[in-house]
Structure 1
Amino acid sequence: MGVVSTVLIVLLTLFFPPIGVLAVAGCGMDLFINVCLTLLGFLPGTIHAFYVLYVYYDRREQARIGAPLPPRASGIYSNRVQSGGMHGYGTM
C-alpha cells in the first residue's frame, strides 16, 4: 500500500472505524470486536481501530527493514495484522 491509500484508510477510520479495521485485518474477530466497540461508543471503536492500524503499519515497516520478529501484539487476533500484511513474516 502506498502513502495515498494509507491516508485514505486513516481518514475513513476517523469517520467509521470498522472500515479501517476491515481494510487491514479483513473479516474476522478484530472486525467483530471493533463493530461491538463502535456500537457501545464511537470513541472506544475509534481507539481500537487506530490500535489495529498502528500495529499493522508498525509490523509492516519492521518487516520491510528486516527487523526480527516482534512478540504478538495483545488484543490483535488477525495474523495479517500481526505480520504487517507480509506473507511469511511473523508466521511459524
Structure 2
Amino acid sequence: MDIIRIIVAILLPPLGVFLQEGLRKHFWINILLTILGYIPGIVHAIYIIARDEPARA
C-alpha cells in the first residue's frame, strides 16, 4: 500500500499525506510546502509516508 501512496504523493503531494495522516497538521504543512514549491511538497509527503511511526487514530 505504501507504493501506491508514494506514487500518489509524487503526482499530488497533499493527497498522499491525506491518505497517510488524514486532516492533521502534516496535511496542512504539506499544503503550504506544495504552494511554496512542488518539490518540497513531494519530499515532505514521501518522508511522511516512508517513516516508521504509524499514524495516530
TM-score band w.r.t. shorter chain: 0.7 to 0.9
Contact 2:17 2:27 in 1 (8 A): yes
> Aligned pair count?
57
1:54 CA drift (Å): 1.6
Identity %: 30
Q: Which residue of 1 aligns with 2:32?
A: 36
Distance 1:27 1:14, change over 3 A: same
Unaligned ranges ≥5, structure 1: 60-83, 88-92
Alignment of 1:14 with 2:19, yes or no, is no
* Paired residue type of 1:49: A
Distance 1:42 1:86, change over 3 A: closer
Q: Tell me which protein shows more helix as a share of its residues.
A: 2
Task: Give the structure-2-normalised TM-score.
Answer: 0.85
Alignment match of 1:52 (pick from 26, 48, 54): 48
CA RMSD for the aligned pairs? 1.6
Alignment of 1:24 with 2:13, yes or no, is no
- Which whole-Å deviations, capped at 9, do the CAs of 1:46-79 have from their partners, x for residues lacking one? 1111111122xx23xxxxxxxxxxxxxxxxxxxx
Q: Which of the pair has the greater relative contact order for Cα pairs under 8 Å at 6+ separation? A: 2
Distance 1:40 1:20, change over 3 A: same
